[in-house]
Structure formats: C-alpha cells, structure tokens
Amino acid sequence: MDTMTLKGMQFFGYHGVFAEENKLGQKFGVELELKLDLSRAAEEDNLDATVNYAELHALTKAIVEGPPLKLIEALAGAIASKLLQTYTILNEVTVRVTKPNPPFEIHFDGVTVELRRKRDEHGTIVPV
C-alpha cells in the first residue's frame, strides 16, 4: 500500500474541556497519513486517480475550525471518520492532532493523539 502524508497543518480551534479553551481558542497541529493505492495516479498522471490534497486540507480545516469538542481524541476521530467516509479510495488513515498549549502549568511542546482507522471487509470504520 502506498502512503500520502500531509504534515504541519495548523488550524485555530476552540476544543477543550475548560470554558477558557472554548472561549479563547488556540492553534492545533494536524498530520494525516493515508494508505491508498497510488499506482494508477503514478502511471496516468491524473488527479482523478488519487486524492486531491487541497480537498483533504479543506475538509480537515472545516472540522478543526468547526464546532468545539472536549477532547483531541474526539477531534482526531472525527477527522479520521470523515476522511474514510468521503474518500473510498482510502484504505487506512492515521490522524495526529497536537495541542501545543494545554491549559495547565507544565512546560512541554504539547500533547499529540494518534488514531489509526480503516474500513473492514463490511465497510465499517474500525480501529487498526
């Protein structure tokens, strides 16, 4: 299986457990790793044979900048589910969401959640 990765995407959202997070918002980092067959796209040089990464970015942006969720786990899950529902060419997705400034008094580069999802033989989205 081939891999397409979108790295370093940054969006502003209002996700978090605390009211201040939902009011003030903050940046969130997102990385997507997609498993799909890219052989036809490589042979034909045809956008219709792959996934348009501008569309992937727009879909991810709409979710991160959309209605607030409490947990970045839920945010990553929403992104993974939407990608698999929207693009049947995708076999598996890994979504990494980083919250760089959690609202508590410790110093680190943030917290990242990584979720891996795929479609099973019945088309149901399941953890990998």
Q: Name the residue with tokens 């943030």.
A: 110
Could you read off the pLDDT of 39-49 as tens digits, one per residue?
999 999 999 99
Could you read off the pLDDT of 110-128 as tens digits, one per residue?
889 999 999 898 989 999 9
Q: Quick one: pLDDT at residue 124?
A: 92
Question: Could you give the CA distance from residue 7 to residue 95 in angstroms, rounded to a whole number?
Answer: 10
Which residues make Cβ contacts (< 8 Å) with residue 60, sequence separation at least 6? 6, 9, 11, 30, 32, 79, 83
What domains can be seen in the chain, in order of their start residue?
A: 2-127 (3.30.1130.10)
Give the full edge-to-edge strand order of the sheet including 26-36.
Answer: 2-13, 26-36, 90-99, 111-119, 125-127
Active-site residue flag, 23: no
Cβ–Cβ under 8 Å, residues 63 and 79: yes
Task: Choose, from 35, 61, 70, 99, the residue flagged as catalytic.
Answer: 99
pLDDT at 105 over 80: no
Reported as a pLDDT band with limits 50, 70 and 90, residue 99 is very high
pTM value is 0.93
